A and B are shown apart, each in its own frame.
Chain A
């Protein structure tokens, strides 16, 4: 690809996965209509899920998954040393994700529940920023494929990278959806950062907050509205804790 007769230097990207379902990195391959153009702009040097090429020379490291074993801690630190920019991709990497539900139980009980008497190594689940410095976080379960492409293109071309500050409700209203809270669902859209195009409420299902808190989110007010609709605190908390994406905000909840 040439621009004004010059061949620009392609950014080298590595994609790495830890404790996760690999659904986020799959979104990179799932954007069929622009996949070929996207690949013209970057050089994928390390992406185990789709390529046997295992280059160690990358500018941008995309990290998927949370950290739940000692070897993962070491591998993550090595990647941090090599990468110029480290980006967390998805809710597991950014917040711990659904894997964090494990931390509510005694870890020995968890192992024996699944593996019986067999010993299996595991640590309490941590997010990536608990271990290394993160330059940019892209939340979502899964990440929105168009958002990731837009962000990576902006990183590569030197344009500003911004996530929406407003809540999911803004996008939901723009789509003309009926509010699912009025349909009887618990929806965390009012407190959750937008950028997903309100995928869940558009599918008539309440938002579970995978993208973390919007700026100035009012948790008390959301709780009050949901209580008025007849939902129990237990049911509301179950959803607020689902992805561990509001752990900081809930500490300060009045």
Chain B
């Protein structure tokens, strides 16, 4: 029997922002498979022109409601590198701690609230409150911890207030840090339970070989700044990010596409895992083994698993950092500087992948030119080409329209796209 399919998902649910999936199969042949972002653009790069440099992080944090700390940190790094501002070590650690809080809250939001309903066959997390109260309870506890961590360190989870050019504005109290450390330690048991739950789920078995791009770790799993690396062997300095992204525009979508050595590449938790596995802590490596993930893995659905592994890693790394901060006693948290003209790039690993901000600052300390390249923008082409391959494979296996539609939706969700972010 020849298969015909016409899949049209308008404004895909359980993702951040507005995107459509369009698939046409005629007589068993794939005619068309598109991932189209239809989000309304906001033109942040144009809005940045003429703004004082100290407001650039505040403005660009509004690019994204989920990874606003990540945008703030990329923006700060670009401003600080443009003006040659060095920041104190304790401030660096506090910033990274805020970022770990964000990674944790964002990954948990995705794994439990956005992706898990598919694995458990429901529309949203709401029916799970009745059917799986233990899992929801655990997710809510962990996510609460992650948000509190951001609130304590950065002043607020969504659109942080204490991260400023030169360092940080405010330090948590010793008691706040000690309590935070204890709570993280207590919640590691919830991560272990999460791993047990995921062991029982079977993720779709799909492979399309691609290239994975991330920051390159030197001594540790990388989060803020450094060289860029790909699984195809490309290594470039941070400042050459444009050669790593090669953005281009296609006419059916408002977000740009990107490529490197192949027609597309992927960024995100799986990309970081594939490039920097050796820097994960031992417990996270054990989790990877238990959940069947080893580098280089080319199954995009495994991004969910890579996110769980990163949750565990950032929690353990946060405990170590809090110990160091308590031992240091916050000698210095903010550097003085004189605004000056310059150009700077800031590359930061945010939950969905590597994020770049680049600014040119004029003699008056104002932004003269800005460029921001978002992880989801980098992933759009990979999602697009994955969809075509996924549909081809599923049609051969004789799957129904409904089954293929769900797998397509789950594929896009696995990338945890931040669509309004990608159309900034």
Assembly CA distance A45 to B303 (angstroms): 29
A19–B158 touching, CB < 8 Å: no
| Selected interface stretch from A28-36, A128-136, A148-156, A159-167 | A28-36
Please name all residues of chain B whose beta carbon is closer than 8 Å to the beta carbon of A68 when the two chains form the complex: 40, 42
B47–A102 touching, CB < 8 Å: yes
Min C-beta distance of A86 to chain B, whole Å: 20
Chain B CB within 8 A of A3 CB: no
B55–A238 touching, CB < 8 Å: yes
Among A36, A52, A54, A97: residue with most chain B CB under 10 A: A52
A49–B14 touching, CB < 8 Å: yes
Assembly CA distance A17 to B136 (angstroms): 25
| B50-71 interface with A by 8 A CB criterion | 51-52, 55, 58-59, 62-66, 68
Point out the residue from A23, A102, A203 that lies within 8 Å of B43, measured CB to CB. Answer: A102
Min C-beta distance of B46 to chain A, whole Å: 4
Please name all residues of chain A whose beta carbon is closer than 8 Å to the beta carbon of B66 when the two chains form the complex: 22-23, 26
Q: How many A-B residue pairs have CB under 8 A?
A: 162
Chain B CB within 8 A of A61 CB: no
Assembly CA distance A242 to B35 (angstroms): 34
Please name all residues of chain B whose beta carbon is closer than 8 Å to the beta carbon of A250 when the two chains form the complex: none
Chain A CB within 8 A of B140 CB: yes
A141–B62 touching, CB < 8 Å: yes
- Given that A23-B65, A23-B66, A32-B147 are contacting pairs, would A200 and B155 also be in contact in the complex, using a CB cutoff of 8 Å? yes
Please name all residues of chain B whose beta carbon is closer than 8 Å to the beta carbon of A225 when the two chains form the complex: none
Among A35, A110, A114: residue with most chain B CB under 10 A: A114
- Given that A49-B16, A142-B159 are contacting pairs, would A21 and B68 also be in contact in the complex, using a CB cutoff of 8 Å? yes
A51–B47 touching, CB < 8 Å: no
Assembly CA distance A80 to B164 (angstroms): 40
Assembly CA distance A52 to B124 (angstroms): 6
B161–A113 touching, CB < 8 Å: no
Chain A CB within 8 A of B394 CB: no
Closest B residue to A125 by beta carbon equals B42
Please name all residues of chain B whose beta carbon is closer than 8 Å to the beta carbon of A113 when the two chains form the complex: 43, 45-46, 49
Chain A CB within 8 A of B199 CB: no
Point out the residue from A72, A141, A203 that lies within 8 Å of B162, measured CB to CB. Answer: A203
Closest B residue to A98 by beta carbon equals B62
Assembly CA distance A110 to B370 (angstroms): 12
Closest A residue to B39 by beta carbon equals A19
- Given that A203-B155, A203-B162 are contacting pairs, would A142 and B65 also be in contact in the complex, using a CB cutoff of 8 Å? yes
Chain B CB within 8 A of A204 CB: yes
A51–B162 touching, CB < 8 Å: no
A238–B162 touching, CB < 8 Å: no
Interface 0/1 of A75-119, CB less than 8 Å to B:
000000000000000000000011101100100011101111010
Chain B CB within 8 A of A69 CB: yes
Number of B positions contacting A (CB below 8 A): 58
Point out the residue from B63, B123, B169 that lies within 8 Å of A53, measured CB to CB. Answer: B123
| Selected interface stretch from B79-87, B109-117, B308-316 | B109-117
Assembly CA distance A49 to B11 (angstroms): 10
Chain A CB within 8 A of B384 CB: no
B46–A102 touching, CB < 8 Å: yes
Assembly CA distance A53 to B125 (angstroms): 11
Assembly CA distance A205 to B11 (angstroms): 37
B109–A29 touching, CB < 8 Å: yes
- Given that A53-B124, A114-B46 are contacting pairs, would A120 and B41 also be in contact in the complex, using a CB cutoff of 8 Å? yes
Point out the residue from B13, B17, B52, B155 that lies within 8 Å of A52, measured CB to CB. Answer: B13
Please name all residues of chain A whose beta carbon is closer than 8 Å to the beta carbon of B156 when the two chains form the complex: 199, 203
Please name all residues of chain B whose beta carbon is closer than 8 Å to the beta carbon of A22 when the two chains form the complex: 16-17, 65-66, 420
Chain A CB within 8 A of B254 CB: yes
Chain A CB within 8 A of B399 CB: no
B13–A51 touching, CB < 8 Å: yes
Chain B CB within 8 A of A172 CB: no
- Given that A114-B41, A204-B169 are contacting pairs, would A51 and B123 also be in contact in the complex, using a CB cutoff of 8 Å? yes
- Given that A23-B66, A50-B14 are contacting pairs, would A203 and B40 also be in contact in the complex, using a CB cutoff of 8 Å? no
- Given that A49-B14, A51-B123, A98-B59 are contacting pairs, would A122 and B40 also be in contact in the complex, using a CB cutoff of 8 Å? yes
Assembly CA distance A44 to B129 (angstroms): 14
Please name all residues of chain B whose beta carbon is closer than 8 Å to the beta carbon of A116 when the two chains form the complex: 249
Interface 0/1 of A226-252, CB less than 8 Å to B:
000000000100110010000000000
- Given that A202-B155, A204-B162 are contacting pairs, would A114 and B43 also be in contact in the complex, using a CB cutoff of 8 Å? yes
A109–B46 touching, CB < 8 Å: yes
Min C-beta distance of B405 to chain A, whole Å: 11
Chain B CB within 8 A of A213 CB: no
Among B14, B65, B117: residue with most chain A CB under 10 A: B65
Q: A50-B114, A115-B249, A122-B43 are in contact. List 7 more A-B contacts (CB 8 A).
A: A22-B66, A30-B158, A52-B117, A98-B59, A99-B42, A105-B46, A203-B170
Q: Across chains A and B, which 8 residue pairs bring their CB atoms closest together, nearest first?
A: A23-B65, A203-B155, A203-B161, A51-B124, A32-B144, A204-B169, A21-B65, A101-B47
